[in-house]
Each structure stands twice: as C-alpha cells, then as structure tokens.
Structure 1
Amino acid sequence: MTHHPALDETRTQVTLPVAKVTLLEDRAQVRREGAVALQAGRNRVALWGLAPVVQDVSLRVDVQGSAKLVDARVRRAMRVGHVEKPEAAAALEQQLLELERRWRDAAEQRERAAMRAAVVDDMLHKAMAEVPEDAGWGLGHPKTWEDTFEALSSTSRALLADERAQRAAMERLAEQASHVVTKRTLIDRPDHRLECLVEIDLDAAAAATVKLGLEYVVPNALWRPFHTAHLVDGKRLRLTCQAAVWQNTGEDWADAQLVFSTARSSLGHEPPKLSDDKLQAKKREQRVVVEAREVAVQNAGLGRAGSGGGGTPPGGVQLPGVDDGGDVQNLKAQHPVTVPSDGRPSFVPIFTFESDAATSLVAMPELDGKAMFKSVQTHAGKHPVLAGPVELVRASGFVGTTRTLYVAPGERFALGFGPDADVRVQRTVDVTEEVDPIDQWRRKTHAVSIFLSNLGGEDKALEVSERMPVSEIEQVEITLVADKTSGAPEVNEHGIVTWKMTLPASSRMRLSLTYVVAFAPGVQGM
C-alpha cells in the first residue's frame, strides 16, 4: 500500500509566475521564474496553482543564488472552498442572468428584423408584379421603377444583414452561457476541485533572495500554424503567420513568452520489419500491360527568385501535425500573451512580411469552369511559412480560405484568391482511335476544345492550363500535334500545357489542344 503523507500547512507559499511556454504538437513545456526570500537554514516552500495534469517525472528545479536545492516533489489535493462558494456562485448566477437577458434581446431584434425583411420582400414582389401592368397602360417611368426597386432592395439587404448579425450574437451568448453553467456546476461539486502544488526544500547559509526556476511538461496543449494573406491594391501581399493555440491544462498562462516548436519529442524509432525475399526465374512475357495513374504534383514553392526552378522542399516524416520540411523550427511570439485554460483557440502573431505580388487569372478547365485570381510572390521573411490554412483578404474584405505547403525563405510561392466573376470556361474532349496497317501501332487522338468568354467590360490577362499524359515506357508514345493546337503553348515535364493570352472585353475565344497516344503492338491494359 502506498502512503500519501498529509500536506504540510506550515510551508511558506511562494509565487512564481509563468515566464515561458514552449508549445509542441501535443504538449507544452512550462517554465516559471521568480524571486524567493530565504532565511538562514532549511527553508520549506510550496508553490500552488500548477496544472493538475503536470507530468511528475518532468519536474526540474534550478536555483540561482547562495542556496542549495535539497528536494522537490509534486503533490495533489482536493480543496473545498466553503467560504468562497456563496460569493462565487452568486457572481456566476448574476452573470448567467445577464447573458440570458442579452440573448432574449438579441432574439427579439432578430425576429423583428426577419419580420420587417419579409414585409419589404413582399412589397418588392408586388411592385415587380405591377410593372408590366403599368407599362401596358403607359404609366410609370423606368427611372422611378429603378429608384423604387433599389430602395427596397437596399432596405431588404440591411434587414437581412441585421438578422444574421443578431443570430451570430445569439450563438456567441449561448456559448458563453454554456461556459458559465459549467463553472457553476463545478462550484456545486466542490469535491471535484483538484489542486496541484510543488513542495521545495532549500538550504541557505544566510538570509538571501534567490531566483527560483521551475520547469515541467503538461499535456492538453497544442498549436498549429494559421496564416492571413492580405492582397494590398492588387500589387503587394502582406502575409501574417500566426499560431492557433489550444490549452486546457488547468492553469492560465498570463503574460508569458510563447515559443512554438515543431520538434517531436515522442517520435520513436523502430527497426524495419524484415521478410524473406524469394527469388525465382521465369520466362519473360511478350505482352506489355500498362495502366494510367493520376499523379498529384504537390509543390507549394516555385523555386527561389531568379532560379527559374521549382524546388521541392525537403521531405519530413509523414505524420499528422506540423509540416516543417524536416527541419525543426522554434518560432517566438512577437510579444508576451495570455492564454486562458478554457480549451478555446487563441491566435498569436509570430511574424509578418510584405512582398511584391505578380497577379494573374488562371484557368484550369479540367478542374473548374471559372478563372481563378492568382498571386505569385517571394517569401521575404526570415522564418519558413509552415504548411497550414490561409485566410484570404482583398480590398473588398474576406474572400475565402485555402491551404499552403511548406515555403522556405526566399522562395517564390503562389496563392489563389477565388474566381473572377466575368470569365467563363467550358471544355469538351473528342477521342478517336485507329490502328496503323503498316506498323500495327494503335493510336488514340485526343482533341480538347476550350471555350473562353469574357463578360466584363475590361480586357483580361489569362493563363490557361491543360494537361496531357506523360509516358514512362518506350512502348507508349505521346505526341503533341502542333498544327492542330492553338498558338505555341508551353509544355513542362509534367505534361502541363499552358497558354498565356489577353481575352478582350465582351469577347469569346476558342483554344484547341490535340495530342496522340500511340501503343506498340502487344501493349494491353488501356
């Protein structure tokens, strides 16, 4: 049987605030620092308020000054605060009543806005129904109709926006009320309040003030990269790299310096599993069986500026978490922050950089019938951009989200900012097959037609990308038919065919791509 001695109430309580927190992918290393006044002889101190989930074996204590560390241990205890309970419960109940009152007010405002919007929509429909009748009798005027419809539409949009805002406020208030109810429940169950402390024994030859440091590891804490890309005036990109932090350790980190690390301390190494290799000889088959497969070319970076190449970032271990390209990163927050222990995300800025952006419209007809607004820029920061979600912002405001892969400093990378409203794209494919009577090669001719339309009043600089297969064996040949292909497109090693053009305002254009896939006699599978 394990004996747990009672807590020593005679120990001197000290305060060591959280100074630094190093966040990993699934845990955090916390460091506390502070000055402690010691008396001559044995000093028995206690530090309360630690996270109850602290890993005992990770505790490290260091002393700077004329004192010697004798012992340090982690203790836990159930504490019942009978004296504090009535005041705390009353405060929470008052807060809950206030949240309920605000929720009711928001619900009433949302209902009023919805009713007024319905009335305005009804008026709009009736006015539209009367237009043909008035026009038949020669009444009314187009300018009057336009002003009436514009006023009703503006009112309807404003009321619907108000209704959505009140609905969002109701959701926020309901979430806050849920947290308050949870805290109130914990007060009603004081036997479930777990406290954690560290008992430290120090020897001092004389009275002195020393600097005491405490380090330990806690679970229930993690971080992930999150970026915000703001395209300024369509010419410069401002990228803000942040860390989304979650922690529910039981202790708040107040005004702490945060460090975000991609190290994986729990990543073990296992020897490869060995199996027997059976070698046997067999007759080589005369027929060749081939198959087509899709290959995703994942390369966020476009190479360093001036290199003209598309350098692939160094590969890391393929595990869920933060992709650092195989190189451990330790990124510091710009300033001390406070992260409460509530399990909700806190966004902490790490670094920001600006770079000139080359913008263009890119169309990939096989994937989408719209042209996407793309920006290409150089990473001008000192730290790499880690793989993660990107929030996209333009002059009009938030336009959507995307994801980026690992981008090294000095490397060019591209981001998509959503579709262009004026450009439409359609694609058709016609495949014919024939066998050459002389060499018996089977040839498939693929004729791809791309139809482009610009519905806007301005010319559009457009980049259209199509693809053709790439052969890896000599029994299959792919040939681009230049005289049946529009212009002189660029073709890279991955088979991506690219046209760069200007699409005039209010115009249409057709692009043609023709290529032949030839199979040698005996090739099967396609």
Structure 2
Amino acid sequence: MNASTAPSSPESAPPPAPEAVPLPVTAVTCLEDRAHVERTAALQLEAGVRRLRLGPVAATAVDRSLHAELTAGPDGATVLDVRLVRAWTPRSPEPPTADDSPLRRRRHALDEEQRTLEQRRDRLGARLDLLSRLAADLLREIGEGAGFGEAEPERWAAELDRVDTERATYEDELAAVETQLSAVRAELAYVLDTLAVAEEEPPELTAHVELTVRSAAAGPAELRLTHLTPCALWRPAYRATSSGGELTLHTDAMVWQRTGEDWTDVRLTLSTARSTLAAGPPRLVEDRLTLRDRSAAERRSVEIELREEEISDVGPARVPGPPGVDDGGEVRVLRAPAPVSVPGDGRAHRVPLTSAASPAHSEYVCAPELSPLVTEVVRFTNTGGHPLLAGPVELIRDSGFTGRATLDFTAPGAAQELAFGSADTYRVTREAEESRNTAGLSQRTVVTRTVRLHLSRFSAPGETGDRVIAVRERIPVSEVSDVEVRLRKDSCSPAPDTLDAEGIARWDITLPPSGRRTVTLVYEVSASAKVNGL
C-alpha cells in the first residue's frame, strides 16, 4: 500500500503577516553626532493581548534606545514589549541617478529603448492584422459580387493594390523594428552579464517595530515611540548683514542626515549634548616638586628666550581635527520656529532659527606686523536672547556678499566683533631697525628698536571726510627682573594713545582724503651683564 501526502488544509497554513501601521517621524532632536527621533501613530486596540507591526522605520535605529508608551487609549492599556525586526529585501527598481555608474545608466537606456521598440512592434502587428482582415473581407465581397453577377474589376483591383501596398510598407517597417529589437536585446544581455560580474546590487535592509500591547477593552489609542539613530548631525551657521550702523545676525542650523528615511514636517530641536561622553571627575596624578640650590655658574648668568604668546580669553581649549559644537561647556538647546523637512540624502540643509538686530560700531583696524591690510571691524552686542555658538559667518554689506568669517562663542549680552574684509583704499608699509650698545660701568646691554609705519589713503575725486584708522603695534613684555622694557615716548612720533599690559600700543590716526601719515615707535630692551639669550 502506497502512502500519499494529503493536501494541507487551510487551517494548517501559516497566518499572513499583519499589515504594518504607519509610524511617521514627528519630532527630532539633533545632537552633535546623532539624533533622537520621536514617532507617533494612531492605533485601534482590541481587548486582550495583541501584537502589532509598525513601520517601516530606519534600519539604523539603536535597539537599546527603543522606548514606547501609550499617551492615550482605553483604561489599563499598556505596552508589554517593543522590539525592532530587520529584514533584507530586494531594492525596488528606480531610475538611475547621476551617482550611478555609466553601465547602470546604459542598462536603463536599453530597457527604455526595448520597451519603445516592443510597443512599436505591437502597433505594427495590430495594423497588419487589421489589413489581413480587410483583405479577407475584400475577397469575400468580390466572390459574393461575382456570384450575383456584379463585375467591377477596376475597383476591385485598385482596392486590392492599395491593401497590398500598405501591407508591404508595414511589413518592411516591422522587419526593421524586429532587427533593431534583436540588436537591443543582444546588447542588453551583454550589459546584464557585465553588471552581474562588475557590480553587485545588495538587498536593502528594512526594519519594522513589533509592539505587544495589552488592553482590557477595545478602542482607539495613541502611541509615542522614541529611539536614537546615527548618521545625523548639525552645526551652527550665521549670516551677518551690516548696514547703517546696525548689524542683523541670522542664526541658522546646517543639518545633515542619512538615516535611510526623510524627515518631513517635523519639530526640529538642536542640542549640543554629547551623549557619548561619560561625565566623570579627572584622575588625580602625583605631581612631585623638588628644590635644589643653584650652582655657581647658574648664579652668574640668567638664560632667557623670546617666545610668541597668543593672547586669549578663558574658554575651552581648541582641539585639532574636525570642528565640533563649541557650547562654552554647558548644554545649549535651540528650536526651529516652524516644522521643517530634511531629506535623507546626506547633504547640508539650512534651517533658519532666529534673527536679531543690534547697534553696531564700525572702525578700520590695522596690525602692520601681521598684515599690511586695513580691515573693517564691526563690533556689536549679542541681543538674540541665546548664546551664539562658534561657527562660520557669511558677511553681507550693502553691496552684497563680501566673504566669510568665524564667530566665537558669545554669551547673551556679551560684546563680539566681526571682520568684514579689507579696505582697498588704504596702504600700510612697515620698517623696523635695531641698534645695540653696552653701557660702560654697568655692562648692561641696551637694544633699541625703531618701527616706522607709513599710512596712505587713496581717495576718489570729490571724496570728502576724514577716516580714523586704529593702528596696533606690540612691544615685548618682560617676565624677569633682569630684563627691562621701556617705551621712549619722547622719541615716538606721535606717542601711542594707549599701551596695555600685554604690550599692545594703539594709535587712532586720522587720515583726510589722499592723506599720508608716518607713525614712529621707539622702545628699549635693557639687560644686565649676566643675561644670556637677548
């Protein structure tokens, strides 16, 4: 007796997968190197324990950050479990883009050409079939007419000739189309074989959310789901417009994201929080100091050296490498005033945040030791109501775009300055000379340095009005008592208006149209005989 396999009953077949409930992105908090995504969905719950399938969602979502809660629904409804389920699915056929290879674009062109030729072949075949039926009807009409004694040989011959001529024309066109179609199919087969060897099209990773809920009664409910996702970041950017003694600063956010899905009409929040950095006190290490007596040779001489020291305010140290978000050591949060859309194409998208106007003071500044250019510097106060994070600034004057600069971190109400580029109507040249002599009895070495700055202004015909240029020049600052630095005001022409503790001398030079001025700075550096290295 042979055993046979009975057909499976409908009850034994696996149940079909439930239809996925859409789970769109409604809010995003973009961090320095990732994003916190919030999704909402409207659910229809049934009594008891049910498992729902939501999505699709970005496959880059972090599993351990997944959190779901019911914000509204029947009494007693709760979430029992939530998890991500990923699967590899073939990519959907899409037209090639500029980023695709020439081979893939050629395949798309051949597919389109083959489809066009097949449609034309079908149309020609339909016309030939219609002409064949027309010829058959015409022959039947001739036979029936001859049976009834009708004789119209001239008309019958003309009709048959016309049908035969059209059939011959369409048959020739059909043969040409078949020839072209064969060539296209052969080339397409070659391209497909080459693609199979040269390029492998991997399947696409998709993800869905499996949600297990329990409810005592049926009814509608609202779900809120949050998770972290990488491949998203933001950086601040600014646009400064100076006009009529006022500076308008527009604060924007440059957002990049390639999470695998688009953010459409979402509430966007920008944060400087660094979730990857663990907060903890610094490790204490032993720092041992020892004292020893100086030797006789060390008592007879003092070694000094000249060094360049950058003057900076207290703040976070600059770290070499890709720029991050400088928030002054405190987490800052900015929000977009309106819903925004950010495509997931990995490109920069500008999101407007705030705009503030404040009174500004403009002056022309020159540091000839660093650059011979005279730069227009605009000073203003941060009146935006929030800190200005460090970032690039696009500079705009009445004449239009003039260049780019960098804005440092600025607290609310703090003063800041921006350089709006150089003024081509000014020229500054710098000359420096040095003389050295030794006093007779004290054997002190005296080094006299003289710096001459020549300023000139080129004016257009008919231009009136004086311009004030703030000229800065530095002199050394001594840190040891054996070396003295003295400004010789009697030899300076003119004497500096100010000289700060950092050794920066400043003059406010007034230049009339086509005017010229020369500024002379003289200072002495004297050291005792036991100083070496001057």
Shift in Å, 1:386 = 0.7
Query: What is the identity percentage for the equivalent residue pairs of Structure 1 and Structure 2?
Result: 37
Contact 1:392/1:401 (8 A) holds in 2 = yes
Match of 1:245 in 2: 255
Deviant stretches of 4+, over 6 Å: 90-93
Q: What is residue 408 of structure 2 aligned with on the other side?
A: 405
Whole-angstrom distance in 2 between the partners of 1:525 and 1:74:
70
Q: Distance in 1 between matches of 2:286 and 2:308?
A: 30
| Residue 108 (structure 1) aligns with | none
- Residues 1:469 and 2:476 are matched in the alignment: yes
The whole-number CA distance in structure 2 between the counterparts of 1:415 and 1:241 is: 15
Correspondences of 1:182-261 after superposition (within 5 Å): 191-233=202-244, 235-261=245-271
Instruction: Please say if 1:77 is aligned against 2:91.
Output: no
1:69-468 aligned within 5 A: 69-80=79-90, 85=93, 88-89=94-95, 191-233=202-244, 235-268=245-278, 269=280, 271-272=282-283, 274=285, 277=288, 279=290, 281-284=292-295, 285-286=298-299, 287-299=301-313, 312=314, 314-315=315-316, 320-456=323-459, 457-458=463-464, 459-468=466-475
Distance of aligned partners of 1:491 and 1:276 in 2 relative to their CA distance in 1, 3 Å threshold = closer
Q: Select between 255-264 and 484-493 the one with higher mean Cα deviation.
A: 484-493
| Residues paired across the two proteins, number | 414
Q: Deviations over 1:232-275 (max 9, x none)?
A: 23x11011111111111112111111111111121134753735
Deviations 1:156-207 (A, max 9, x none): xxxxxxxxxxxxxxxxxxxxxxxxxxxx99xx96642110111111111111
1:50-72 per-position Cα deviation (integer Å, ceiling 9, x unaligned): 22121111111111233110111
Cα distance change of structure 1 residues 9 and 364 upon mapping to structure 2, 3 Å threshold = farther
Q: Which amino acid aligns with 1:485?
A: C
Task: Determine the C-alpha separation between the residues in 2 that align with 1:210 and 1:436.
Answer: 94
Paired residue for 2:11? none
Superposition map of 1:55-66 within 5 A: 55-65=62-72, 66=74
CA–CA separation in structure 1 for the residues paired with 2:15 and 2:255: 36
SS at match of 1:201: strand
2:491 partner amino acid: K
Give 5+ residue unaligned stretches, structure 1: 1-6, 101-183, 300-311
Contact 1:432–1:444, Cα closer than 8 Å, also in 2: yes
TM-fit CA distance, 1:500: 0.9
Contact 1:384 1:408 in 2 (8 A): yes
Question: Is there any run of 5+ residues in structure 2 with no aligned partner, and where?
Answer: 1-13, 110-194
State which structure, 1 or 2, has the greater radius of gyration over its C-alpha atoms. Answer: 2
Q: Distance in 1 between matches of 2:208 and 2:67?
A: 14
Residue 520 of structure 1, CA deviation: 2.3
CA shift at 1:45, angstroms?
1.5
1:68-87 residue CA offsets vs partner (Å, 9 max, x unmatched): 10111111101126xx53xx
2:22–2:56 CA contact under 8 A, matched in 1: no
Q: TM-score, with normalisation over the residues of structure 2?
A: 0.73
* Distance (Å, rounded) in 2 between the aligned partners of 1:438 and 1:275: 49
Q: State the distance in 2 between where 1:372 and 1:9 align.
A: 72
**1:352-392, CA deviations, whole angstroms, 9 ceiling, x for partnerless residues?**
11011111111111111111011111111111111111111
Which deviations, in whole Å up to 9, do the C-alpha atoms of 1:414-433 show, x marking residues without a partner? 11101111110000111111
Q: Sort the Cα spacing of 1:14 and 1:317 in 2 relative to 1 into closer, same or farther, 3 A.
A: farther
Once residues 15 and 227 of structure 2 are traced to their aligned partners in structure 1, the CA distance between those partners, rounded to angstroms, is 22
Are residue 38 (structure 1) and residue 45 (structure 2) matched? yes
SS of alignment partner, residue 490 of structure 2? helix
State TM-score, norm by structure 1: 0.74
Q: RMSD of the alignment, in Å?
A: 2.6
- What does residue 521 of structure 2 align with? 513
Say if 1:363 and 1:317 are closer, same or farther in 2 by CA, change over 3 A: closer
